[in-house]
DNA sequence: GCCATTCATCGCCATGTCACGATAGCTGAT
DNA sequence: ATCAGCTATCGTGACATGGCGATGAATGGC
């Protein structure tokens, strides 16, 4: 249950600035991706189960499979989540690097 | 220029939980409010000028006055910003309490 | 090869967001 | 009282988002 299926720990730190036009755009994109209750819940699920979850997410949310898939796409496009193929199913897990980056950007406010 | 026009320092700390359904909704609402480049820029302006800014915000952004006013409304409804009437103009300033809350919620991920 | 499972994608519809100009409400000065 | 300046709100149009069911593509097992 808690075997990880995707992540290399990825501990390199991010040296990009937390201010300026690029940072503003980046922060806006990340918060926009997070700006929906279902997506927050998905991220929360992924933080709680140490390892990656696949379509169990669908079972945990009161939404259709296609809707959940769209939300996952938003999170993936924002870089907050990564999906890797694991046999017939797909294994999603957090991208801690991006989460750290988000914290840094918000901290810069 | 750096005379404050609204804020009582407001240092009471927020004891509400950073997880659970309510926290999810709250985080989604706050990040949604932040999820637009113009609104990030507005917040950034308000952090940089120590005091509150009023319609100078309009001058700093490449947007019409009505558009900026709408963005300010979004930020105000989310509690990230406060506006107080100051003579003929309106003085906006950050709500550091809400910003701290946002940091706490993101930290809870 | 064939089927069942899993997930992504497509259309579709309803609703929300973003931008604008125009208008209305307040306030302080004349 | 009137006028000028500042801001909020309204109405509108273009576009994005969120939700769903249906369809498609890939995989593992039979």
CATH number assigned to the domain comprising residue A75: 1.10.10.10
A89 CB neighbours strand C below 7 A: yes
Number of domains chain B is built from: 1
Sorting pLDDT into bands at 50, 70 and 90, what band is A76?
very high
Reply yes or no on whether the pLDDT at A5 is more than 70: no
Q: Extract the tokens encoding B29.
A: 């609402």
Question: What's the CA gap between A106 and A30, in Å, rounded?
Answer: 10
In a domain, A37, yes or no: yes
- Chain A residue whose CA is closest to B33: A35
Residue B9 has pLDDT above 90, yes or no: no
B70 bridge partner residues: none
Helices (H), A15-95: 20-34, 37-48, 56-60, 65-77
In this structure, is residue A99 part of a structural domain?
yes
Is residue A43, in this structure, part of any structural domain at all?
yes
Q: How many CA atoms lie within 13 A of A86 on its CB side?
A: 17
Indicate the SS3 state at residue B64: coil
Residue ranges making up the domain that contains A43: 20-107
**pLDDT score for B7:** 59
Residue A12 lies in a domain: no
Q: Per-residue confidence at A55, pLDDT binned at 50, 70, 90?
A: confident
Question: Which residues from A are below 8 Å from B103, CB to CB?
Answer: 103, 106-107
Task: Tell me the per-residue pLDDT of B21-74, one tens digit each, with 9 for 90 and over.
Answer: 899 999 999 999 999 999 999 999 999 886 678 789 999 999 999 999 999 999
């Amino acid at each position: 249950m808690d075997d990880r299926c995707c992540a290399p720990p990825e501990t390199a730190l991010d040296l990009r600035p937390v201010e300026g036009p690029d940072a503003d755009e980046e922060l806006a994109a990340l918060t926009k991706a997070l700006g929906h209750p279902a997506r927050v819940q998905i991220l929360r699920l992924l933080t709680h189960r140490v390892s990656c979850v696949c379509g169990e997410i669908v079972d945990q949310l009161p939404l259709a499979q296609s809707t959940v898939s769209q939300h996952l796409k938003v999170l993936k496009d924002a870089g907050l989540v990564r999906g890797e193929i694991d046999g017939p199913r797909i294994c999603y897990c957090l991208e801690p690097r991006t989460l750290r980056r988000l914290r840094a950007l918000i901290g810069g406010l």
